[in-house]
Amino acid sequence: MQDLRPTIAVDTHPMLAELLQRCWQKDPALRPTFAEIVDILNSIKEAVRSSVHHKRHSCRSHSGRRRGC
């Protein structure tokens, strides 16, 4: 096996990029368990939701109308 891995896109969420790199460890003992993967993916999901929620609210004026976002 040649240990080939796809390139991680520059706009990949940092937590997901780190998870991918951990999953690709050559030594299986260094890879996360499935339970850890699920926990990390849930953390990423919450981080993305919070980010989207924050962006939506920061793009609205005090009157509730969208600003130029």
Contacts of 15 (CB under 8 A, 6+ apart): 40, 43, 44, 47
Residue-wise burial string across 27-41, b where 16 or more C-beta atoms lie within 10 A, e elsewhere: eeeeeeeeeeeeebe
- pLDDT of amino acid 61: 52
Give domain status of residue 4, yes or no. no
Answer yes or no: is 9 within a domain: no
Return the pLDDT at 2. 78
| Residue 67 is assigned to a structural domain of this protein | no
Model pLDDT, residue 3 = 79
- Residue 23 located in a structural domain: yes
Query: Could you tell me if residue 68 is inside a domain?
Result: no
What's the CA gap between 57 and 62, in Å, rounded?
Answer: 10
Report how many domains make up the chain: 1
**For each of the chain's 69 residues, which pLDDT tens digit applies?**
677 999 999 999 999 999 999 999 999 999 999 999 999 999 999 999 988 877 777 776 555 665 555
In-domain check, residue 29:
yes
Domain around 53: 14-58
